[in-house]
């Protein structure tokens, strides 16, 4: 929808930026009432990136970044679980990420072998949020690097494909769909590697879960279309 609004702005002078931001606000409110700060950050980052691709002035991008930082501060002050996760991240990562790092350490370069991992039995949400750590333990750093490279290739190829399109809508929609996949993969892998605070987010096409797989498949189908 953002791509359609912003493409109309480029073609006919439609106030696409204002409508896109107006559409974002109720979505953010609903997510924060959950509360789901991680998805809020993902959606807001995606929206700002779409505005950037559509040519929004740099000072407006900076203003939106300041507003996002303000929302993050409010979330930190209002939601105890956000403060707890930030505190755990600043203090050696916390229980889950600590086990995830032990899984990577146990796997080494080539891993302990398929099905031979043991840390996964103690790691909460090993089949979804921390599937990357399970891959690291059983198949080693080699597979983890391959997974990261494949996500990078998919994201970059989609961005390049979108950039070659002559239609503004196809450019914006393709770039946005590519970012959805790239950002979600980066967040999931970053949490497992303790470079980001803990956030419940699946690894596209790899984590267990039919709804996640369906959503990612739909996203890639739109991008290919």
In the chain the first and final C-alpha atoms are separated, in Å, by: 16
Looking up tokens 């997974």 gives 147
| pLDDT confidence of residue 89 | 67
Total count of residues recorded for the chain: 225
> Global pTM?
0.82
Nearest to 52 by CA among 44, 41, 61, 64: 61
Distance of CA 48 to the CA centre of its chain: 14
Q: Which residues of the chain have pLDDT under 70?
A: 88-90, 92-93
- How far apart are the C-alpha atoms of 157 and 78, rounded to whole Å? 40
Measured between alpha carbons, how far is 210 from 139 in angstroms, rounded to an integer?
24
Question: Half-sphere exposure (CA, 13 Å, Cβ side) for 199?
Answer: 25
Sign of CA dihedral 152, 155, 157, 163: negative
Residue 225's pLDDT is what? 87
Query: CB of 99 within 8 A of CB of 70?
Result: no
- 160 Cβ partners below 8 Å, 6+ apart? none
Q: What is the structure's pLDDT at 93?
A: 59
Which tens digits make up the pLDDT trace of 84-106? 777 766 676 577 888 888 999 98
| pLDDT value of position 92 | 62
Domain ranges of the chain: 1-78, 93-225
Per-residue pLDDT of 48-87, as tens digits, reads: 899 998 888 888 888 888 887 887 788 778 777 777 777 7
User: 116 phi and psi, to 5 degrees?
Assistant: -95, -5
Report the pLDDT value the prediction gives residue 194, as an integer from 0 to 100: 84
């Amino acid at each position: 929808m953002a791509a359609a609004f912003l493409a109309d702005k480029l073609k006919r002078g439609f106030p696409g930026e204002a409508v896109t931001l107006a559409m974002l606000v109720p979505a953010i409110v609903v997510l924060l009432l959950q509360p789901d700060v991680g998805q809020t950050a993902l959606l807001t980052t995606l929206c700002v990136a779409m505005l950037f691709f559509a040519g929004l002035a740099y000072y407006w991008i900076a203003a939106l970044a300041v507003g996002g930082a303000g929302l993050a501060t409010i979330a930190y002050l209002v939601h105890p679980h956000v403060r707890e996760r930030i505190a755990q991240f600043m203090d050696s990562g916390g229980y889950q990420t600590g086990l995830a790092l032990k899984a990577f350490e146990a796997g080494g370069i080539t891993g302990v072998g398929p099905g031979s991992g043991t840390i996964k039995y103690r790691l909460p949400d090993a089949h979804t949020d921390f599937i990357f750590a399970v891959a690291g333990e059983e198949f080693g750093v080699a597979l983890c690097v391959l997974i990261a490279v494949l996500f990078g290739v998919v994201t970059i190829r989609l961005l390049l494909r979108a950039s070659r399109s002559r239609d503004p809508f196809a450019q914006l929609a393709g770039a946005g769909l590519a970012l959805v996949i790239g950002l979600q993969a980066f967040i999931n892998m970053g949490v497992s590697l303790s470079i980001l605070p803990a956030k419940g987010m699946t690894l596209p096409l790899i984590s267990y879960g039919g709804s996640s797989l369906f959503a990612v498949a739909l996203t890639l189908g739109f991008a290919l279309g």
